[in-house]
Chains A and B, each alone.
Chain A
Amino acid sequence: MRQNLDVIAAYLIMLGLIILVGFLQSWSIALSILCFCLISAVMTMGANIQWGYAGLINFGIMGYTALGGLAAVLVSVPPVKEAWQVGGLSMIFCAFLIAFMVFSIRFILKKYNKSNKRNYGIALVIIVGLILLRLISGPAIHSIEAVNPATTGFLGGMGLPILFSWIVGAFFAGALAYVIGKIALGLRADYLAIATLLISEIVIAVIKHEDWLSRGVKNVIGLKRPVPYEIDLQTKEWFINLVAKFNQSTLNLITDVMAREQMLKQLVIEGSTVFVKLCFVGLFSIVVIILLIITQKALYSPWGRMMRAIRDNEEAANAMGKNVVKQHLLIFVLGSAIVGIAGAMMVTYDGLFTPGSYRPMRYTFLIWVMVIVGGSGNNFGAVLGGFAVWFLWIEAAPIALFLINLFTSGLEETNVLRVHLIESIPYFRFLMMGIGLLLIMRYRPKGILPEKIKHV
C-alpha cells in the first residue's frame, strides 16, 4: 500500500481535476474529457509496451489509430449491395492477386539463392502484378465510386455491431505492424522512428484516397452506437423517472406545475447526454482495466523480465539465447494492436470517420508526450500520462485565457496585443505541451510515475 501511495495520490488528483471541470464548466464536458482520457490511455499503453518494455520507437501511432478507425467503418456500416454487384468480384479477385503476389515472392526468396536472377524474378512478379491489379481494379473502382456517390460510393462494411470492430481494429493494426516490423525493425532507433513516421503517412494517404474502401475525405458519418441515443432516452419513462428522482430537491422547490414540467424536460435533455457519455465511460473503462491487468501481469512475468533485459542490454540478452528479433517483432505487433483498439474506440465514440483529421501532431507526437510525461515502463504512469496530457490539451484554452487576462489586465480591452493574444488562444496548448515535455524530460526524466522494478 505504502509504495503505491504516489500512484493513488496522482490518480486522485487527476480525478479531482475532472470533477472540478464538472462543477466549473459542465458535467457533459467533464465526461467527454474523461472518455478521451480513457481512449488516450489505451493508446499510451500501446506505445508504452513498445517503448517502455522494449525500447522500440514507434512514431507510426497515427497510422494504427486510423486503421482501427477504418475497422470500425468496415465492421459496422451495412454493406452496399449495389456496389458489391458492380465491383465486388473484381476487388475480391484483386485481394487474391495481392496474396498470390506475396506468396510467389516468398516462394522465390526461399527457393533461389541470392542472385541477380532472383532480383529480376521478384521485379517481374511485382511489375506484372501491379499492371494486372491496375487493369482489373481500375474499372471496378470507377463503377463502385459511381454508385450513389453522395451517400455511399464505397463497398460498405459487414453491418455487424460496432463493438466487434474493437477486436477487428486490433487485428488490422497488428497485421500492419507485422509487415512494418518485418521491414523496418532492423533499423537503428532513430531511423526506425523516421521510417515508422513516414509509413504512417503512407497509410493515411491510402485511407484518404481509396474512396471505394473508406469513402476517403468524403467521411463516413452516422456510425451505429453501442449505447442508446439521446433522443430515444428522452422519451423513455424509466429515464424520466430516474432524472426526476435525482433532481427531486430542485424540482420540489418549484411550485408551479408548468414550470416544473419545463424544468424536468430541461433536466432530461441534459441528463440524457450525461447518461450516454457515462455509458461510454463504462465501456472504455472496461477496456482500460482489462488491458491494465494484462499488461501489468505481463510486465512482472518472466516474459516481461526478458523484455526489460533485451531493452537494457540487447547483446547480453542475445548471448543468453533470447531471440531478440522475434521478441521485438512480437512486442511491436502487440503494442500496435492495442493502439488499433484505441482507434476503433475513438471512431465508435465520435460516430464518424474522418480520414482528413488524422495528423501526426495530434495522433503521434501527442501520444508520445503522454508516454514520456506519464512514465515509460510503468503502465499506471502511461495511463496517468494519457489522462493528464489530454486534460491539459483540452483545458489549455481556458487556462491560457485566464493567464492572458491576468497579465494584460493593465491594457485596454481593445489593445492590439491583447486582442491578438486572445485570438491565438488555441495555439497556447502547443506551447504548454512543449514546455511541459521539456520540463519533465529535464527534471523528471523517468516521468511522473517512474518505472518500478521489483527485485525478488
Chain B
Amino acid sequence: MEIINAIVLLLNYIFVPALSYGSQLALGAIFVSLIYGILRFAYFTAGDLMSFGTMFTILFTWYFQSLGINLGVLPTALIAIPFGITVTIFYVLIKDKLVFSYYRFKKSPPVQLAMVSIGTMFVTQAIVRIVIGPFDRRFFDGEKFILKANEFKEMTGLNEGLTIKSTQVITLLVTIIVVSILFWFLNKTKTGKSMRAYSDNEDLALLSGIDPKKVVMITWVIAAILATVGGTLYGLDKSFKPFTYFNNMLPIFAAAIVGGIGNPFGAFLGGYVIAFSEILVTYAYRKFFIYLLPESIEPDSLLQLLSTDYKFAVSFSILVVVLLFRPSGIFKGKVL
C-alpha cells in the first residue's frame, strides 16, 4: 500500500505534469529543429511565433464564445486552432517573402540569418503586445478536470490523490496526433522525402529536381502549425502571457539541441528529456521517502536536489553538458 501511495505521488507531481509540459516543448523543439535542418539557421523567433499563433487562437476563441459556439466539455480553443494556424501560416509566409528569402538567395551565412530572426523576433513580439497586451490571459473553458484528487482517493482508497486535468490529456492526444502525422509526412510522402533530401544535401537535392521554394514553403507551414498548436496547448494548460512564451524559447532550444538539432525525432524526445529533468531535479522527495522508508529513518529535510527557482538552470546545465560531451546531441542518427 505504501509503495502504491509513493508511486501515485510521483505520478501526480512528476509524471503527469512533465508529460504535458514535455509535449508542449517537443512541439516547439520539432519546428526549431526543422527550420535548423532545412533553412539552416537558429530561429530565435520560435517563442514569439508560438505566442503569435496562440494570440490569434485566443482572439478566435473569444469571437466564438461571443457567438455562443462551444464544444461542451472541451475547450472552445480547439475549434479556433485551425483559424489561428491559418493566420500564422500567412504571417510566416509573408515574413519569409519580405525578409528571409533575400538572405537565402544571397546565401548569407547562418549567423546573419539568425540575426535577422532576432529582428523578426522584435517585430513579432511588438505585434503580439500591441494587439493583445502583455498581460496574463486565460481562455480555457469546458470541463477542467478529468480526475479529481478526492474522487481518486475515494475510488482507490489510497492516501494520495491523482489529479488529471483535461488540458493534460488534450495536450497529450493532440501531440500524438500531430507528431504522428508529421512523421508520416516526413517519412512516407514524396514531399516529405524531398524535404529530408534537401536537408541532407542541398546541392544534390537541387540536382535531382527538388523545388527549393516548395520545400522552404512547406517547412514554414509546418512551423506555423506546430507553433500554433504547441503554443495553444501551453496556454490552455497554464496561461497565455507573451513574456513567458518568449522565455520558453530557451528550453525549446535546449530540447532541440539535446535531441540533436536538425533531427526532428530527437527534438521530440529532447522535449521530454528537458521537461522530466526540470521536474525531477527540483521536486522535493520528502513525502516519497516517508512512504517508502520505515518510520525510524524518516527524513526531516525536504530532500530537494535544487530549489524550484533553478528550474530553468537545470535544463540549461543539461544542455551545456550535452554540448560538451556530445555536440551532435543525444539522439544523433541521420540528419532529419
Q: Which residues of A contact B (CB under 8 A)?
A: 57, 183-184, 187, 189-191, 193-195, 197-199, 201-202, 205-206, 208-209, 361, 365, 368-369, 372, 421, 423-424, 427-431, 433-435, 437-438, 441-442, 445
- Which A residues are in CB contact (< 8 Å) with B323? 184, 187, 191, 195
Listed by A's residue number, 16 A-B pairs whose Cβ atoms lie within 8 Å are A183-B324, A184-B323, A187-B323, A194-B253, A197-B250, A198-B320, A199-B316, A205-B309, A209-B309, A372-B115, A424-B129, A434-B124, A434-B126, A437-B118, A438-B116, A441-B119
Chain A: minimal CB distance from B251 (Å): 9
Distance of A421 Cα from B316 Cα, bound (Å)? 38
Say if the beta carbon of B310 comes within 8 Å of chain A.
Answer: yes
Say if the beta carbon of B65 comes within 8 Å of chain A.
Answer: no
Given A183-B320, A191-B323, A198-B254: A208 and B309 interface contact (C-beta under 8 Å): yes
Contact call A433/B130, Cβ cutoff below 8 A: no
A441: nearest chain-B partner, CB-CB: B116
Contact call A427/B319, Cβ cutoff below 8 A: no
Contact call A424/B123, Cβ cutoff below 8 A: no
Given A427-B130, A438-B123: A191 and B257 interface contact (C-beta under 8 Å): yes
Say if the beta carbon of B110 comes within 8 Å of chain A.
Answer: yes
Say if the beta carbon of B42 comes within 8 Å of chain A.
Answer: yes
| In the complex, the 8 A-B pairs of residues with the closest C-beta atoms, listed nearest first | A434-B122, A434-B123, A431-B126, A430-B126, A427-B129, A198-B316, A437-B119, A209-B309
Contact call A438/B41, Cβ cutoff below 8 A: no
Distance of A442 Cα from B103 Cα, bound (Å)? 8
Known: A205-B309, A430-B129, A438-B116. 17 other contacts (CB 8 A): A189-B109, A189-B110, A190-B42, A190-B110, A191-B323, A191-B327, A194-B253, A194-B257, A202-B316, A208-B309, A209-B307, A424-B133, A431-B130, A434-B122, A434-B123, A438-B120, A442-B102
- Which A residues are in CB contact (< 8 Å) with B309? 205, 208-209
- Which A residues are in CB contact (< 8 Å) with B290? none
- Which A residues are in CB contact (< 8 Å) with B71? none
Contact call B111/A365, Cβ cutoff below 8 A: no
Distance of A427 Cα from B135 Cα, bound (Å)? 13
- Which B residues are in CB contact (< 8 Å) with A191? 257, 261, 323, 327
- Which A residues are in CB contact (< 8 Å) with B122? 365, 369, 430-431, 433-434, 437
Distance of A415 Cα from B319 Cα, bound (Å)? 50
Say if the beta carbon of B285 comes within 8 Å of chain A.
Answer: no
Chain B: minimal CB distance from A67 (Å): 16
A200: nearest chain-B partner, CB-CB: B316
Contact call A202/B115, Cβ cutoff below 8 A: no
Which residues 104-118 of B sit at the A interface, judged by CB distance below 8 A? 109-112, 114-116, 118
Contact call A193/B130, Cβ cutoff below 8 A: no
A421: nearest chain-B partner, CB-CB: B130
Q: A-side binding surface: helix, strand, loop or mixed?
A: helix
Say if the beta carbon of B312 comes within 8 Å of chain A.
Answer: yes
Report, as a range, how many residues of chain B touch the other chain: 35 or more
- Which B residues are in CB contact (< 8 Å) with A434? 119-126
Say if the beta carbon of B313 comes within 8 Å of chain A.
Answer: yes
Given A184-B323, A198-B316, A434-B121: A193 and B310 interface contact (C-beta under 8 Å): no
Say if the beta carbon of B170 comes within 8 Å of chain A.
Answer: no
Distance of A435 Cα from B118 Cα, bound (Å)? 11
Chain A: minimal CB distance from B32 (Å): 10
Contact call B126/A187, Cβ cutoff below 8 A: no
- Which A residues are in CB contact (< 8 Å) with B307? 209
Chain B: minimal CB distance from A255 (Å): 53
Distance of A42 Cα from B70 Cα, bound (Å)? 55
Distance of A423 Cα from B118 Cα, bound (Å)? 25
Contact call B42/A194, Cβ cutoff below 8 A: yes
B246: nearest chain-A partner, CB-CB: A361
Contact call A189/B111, Cβ cutoff below 8 A: yes
- Which B residues are in CB contact (< 8 Å) with A194? 42, 253, 257
Distance of A187 Cα from B116 Cα, bound (Å)? 21
Which of B119, B121, B254, B323 counts the most A-chain CB atoms under 10 A from its CB? B119
Given A191-B327, A424-B129, A430-B125: A198 and B250 interface contact (C-beta under 8 Å): yes
Distance of A205 Cα from B111 Cα, bound (Å)? 27
B317: nearest chain-A partner, CB-CB: A202
- Which A residues are in CB contact (< 8 Å) with B120? 434, 438
Chain B: minimal CB distance from A46 (Å): 18
Contact call B319/A198, Cβ cutoff below 8 A: yes
A365: nearest chain-B partner, CB-CB: B118
A208: nearest chain-B partner, CB-CB: B309
Say if the beta carbon of B99 comes within 8 Å of chain A.
Answer: yes
Distance of A434 Cα from B250 Cα, bound (Å)? 20
Contact call B320/A199, Cβ cutoff below 8 A: yes
Contact of A368 among B42, B115, B250, B253 (CB under 8 A): B115
Contact call A438/B99, Cβ cutoff below 8 A: yes
Chain A: minimal CB distance from B92 (Å): 15
Which residues 218-254 of B sit at the A interface, judged by CB distance below 8 A? 246, 250, 253-254
Given A191-B327, A199-B316, A209-B307: A441 and B130 interface contact (C-beta under 8 Å): no
Say if the beta carbon of B94 comes within 8 Å of chain A.
Answer: no
Distance of A433 Cα from B115 Cα, bound (Å)? 13
Distance of A421 Cα from B130 Cα, bound (Å)? 7
Which of A202, A421, A423 counts the most B-chain CB atoms under 10 A from its CB? A202
Chain B: minimal CB distance from A430 (Å): 4
Distance of A279 Cα from B309 Cα, bound (Å)? 39
- Which B residues are in CB contact (< 8 Å) with A368? 115, 118
Distance of A189 Cα from B110 Cα, bound (Å)? 9
Contact call B313/A205, Cβ cutoff below 8 A: yes
Contact call A365/B121, Cβ cutoff below 8 A: yes
- Which B residues are in CB contact (< 8 Å) with A445? 112
Contact call A438/B119, Cβ cutoff below 8 A: yes
Say if the beta carbon of B181 comes within 8 Å of chain A.
Answer: no
Chain A: minimal CB distance from B30 (Å): 17
- Which A residues are in CB contact (< 8 Å) with B114? 190, 193
Chain A: minimal CB distance from B20 (Å): 23
Say if the beta carbon of B134 comes within 8 Å of chain A.
Answer: yes
Say if the beta carbon of B127 comes within 8 Å of chain A.
Answer: yes
A368: nearest chain-B partner, CB-CB: B118
B315: nearest chain-A partner, CB-CB: A198
Which of A190, A429, A437 counts the most B-chain CB atoms under 10 A from its CB? A190
B109: nearest chain-A partner, CB-CB: A189
Distance of A365 Cα from B249 Cα, bound (Å)? 14
Contact call B257/A201, Cβ cutoff below 8 A: no
- Which B residues are in CB contact (< 8 Å) with A199? 316, 320
Chain A: minimal CB distance from B258 (Å): 11
Contact call B324/A57, Cβ cutoff below 8 A: no
Chain B: minimal CB distance from A109 (Å): 13
Chain A: minimal CB distance from B100 (Å): 10
Which residues 147-198 of B sit at the A interface, judged by CB distance below 8 A? none
- Which A residues are in CB contact (< 8 Å) with B134? 427
Distance of A434 Cα from B112 Cα, bound (Å)? 15
Contact call A209/B310, Cβ cutoff below 8 A: yes
Chain A: minimal CB distance from B96 (Å): 13
- Which B residues are in CB contact (< 8 Å) with A206? 313
